[in-house]
């Protein structure tokens, strides 16, 4: 599990440039040891936005491992799923998406139509799937997270914390290392087109290998970032950025400040399955 905080923003005077004060939250975790290197409002209730899809993917990866479906399986798209607002791939009711494409669409494009289709396929309804997501979160130690949908589209009841999202980011890599490369994709091909992702840190910041961005008006610009350099591994959550650019600049600042303080790979974080 994530250990207690050792360094606070008060001590280090880390600034969150142009973050919305009522929405800002952040945490930096040494993922090798579980030690918290920095936190600010880390347990305050926040809207996850499309960080939600990290749990949708966790559930999908688990279903694959359980043999309930394979990467080539087809997921039907209902009228409800097809009607979800952007971002989406634009499926029509009655069409289907293979699991491999669905994973890329969720991790890279953050497609809301695909998220709803996955939820319906795995649980019969998106509402039931959200209950399963919440229960899985509790198993992982996400004590303050409640999911109401599979996508992160606005819902006043769908809330999380920066700490819970960091815990989920760590769990995804540890539990599903063979699927984690999907979070590193900057683009994927669909119907002959190149679909580019939203994570501008990939390929631009040394060691960054994922994982997910998110935005709705109520949340501000969110991100969970994983960075690995020289055996050191950080997972950072930033929530409530005013723009994607200022959020990303803050991530860069935190990486450069705290990565040298992280332990090299020798210890592991205990994460429930």
Provide the CATH number for the domain formed by 9-261 in this structure: 3.40.710.10
Under a CB-based contact definition with an 8 Å cutoff, are residues 23 and 162 in contact? no
Three-class SS state of 68: coil
What the block records as the tokens of 205 is 């910041």
Q: Name the phi and psi angles at 150, rounded to 5.
A: -90, -5
Mean pLDDT of 229-233: 95
**Cβ partners under 8 Å of residue 250, min gap 6:** 16, 17, 19, 26, 238, 241
Work out the pLDDT band at 267, boundaries 50, 70, 90: very low
**Cβ partners under 8 Å of residue 262, min gap 6:** 30, 32, 33, 37, 232, 233, 234
The torsion region of residue 210 among left (phi > 0), alpha (psi -120 to 50) and beta comes to left
Span 19-52, pLDDT tens digits: 455 899 999 999 999 999 999 999 999 999 999 9
- Annotate 141-167 with DSSP letters as a single string: T-TT-B-SSSS----TT-BB-HHHHHH
* Residues that constitute the known binding site: 212
- Annotate 256-269 with DSSP letters as a single string: HHHGGGSPBBTB--
Span 193-225, pLDDT tens digits: 999 988 999 999 999 999 999 999 999 999 999
Span 137-159, pLDDT tens digits: 999 999 999 999 999 999 999 99
Q: Give percent of the chain with pLDDT exceeding 70.
A: 90
What the block records as the tokens of 6 is 């050792």
- The per-residue b/e assignment along 7-29, b for 16 or more CB within 10 angstroms, e otherwise, is beeeeeebebebbeeebbbbbbb
Provide the β-strand partners of residue 210: 226
For the whole model, what pTM was predicted?
A: 0.91
Average pLDDT, the chain: 91
Catalytic residues: 50, 53, 110
Under a CB-based contact definition with an 8 Å cutoff, are residues 237 and 166 in contact? yes
Pick from 239, 248, 250, 183: nearest CA to 216: 239
Under a CB-based contact definition with an 8 Å cutoff, are residues 27 and 240 in contact? no
**Cβ partners under 8 Å of residue 60, min gap 6:** 99, 102, 103, 106, 118, 122
Pick from 240, 235, 187, 244: nearest CA to 208: 235
């Amino acid at each position: 599990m994530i250990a207690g905080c050792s360094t606070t923003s008060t001590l280090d005077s880390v600034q969150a440039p142009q973050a919305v004060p009522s929405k800002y939250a952040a945490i930096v975790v040494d993922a090798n040891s579980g030690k918290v290197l920095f936190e600010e409002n880390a347990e305050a209730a926040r809207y996850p936005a499309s960080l939600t899809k990290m749990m949708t993917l966790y559930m999908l990866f688990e279903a694959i491992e359980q043999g309930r479906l394979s990467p080539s399986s087809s997921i039907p798209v209902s009228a409800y799923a097809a009607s979800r607002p952007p971002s989406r791939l634009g499926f029509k009711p009655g069409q289907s998406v293979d699991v491999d494409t669905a994973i890329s669409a969720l991790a890279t494009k953050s497609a809301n139509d695909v998220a709803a289709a996955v939820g319906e396929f795995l649980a019969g309804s998106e509402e039931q799937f959200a209950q399963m997501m919440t229960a899985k979160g509790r198993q992982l130690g996400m004590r303050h997270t409640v999911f109401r949908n599979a996508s992160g589209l606005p819902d006043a009841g769908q809330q999380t914390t920066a700490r819970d999202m960091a815990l989920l980011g760590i769990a995804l890599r540890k539990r599903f290392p063979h699927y984690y490369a999907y979070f590193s994709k900057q683009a994927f091909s669909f119907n002959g087109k190149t679909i580019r992702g939203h994570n501008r840190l990939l390929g631009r910041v040394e060691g960054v290998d994922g994982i997910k961005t998110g935005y709705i008006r109520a949340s501000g610009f969110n991100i969970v970032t994983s960075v690995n350099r020289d055996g050191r591994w950080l997972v950072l959550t930033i929530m409530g950025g005013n723009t994607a650019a200022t959020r990303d600049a803050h991530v860069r600042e935190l990486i450069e400040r705290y990565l040298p303080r992280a332990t090299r790979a020798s210890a592991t974080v205990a994460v429930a399955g």
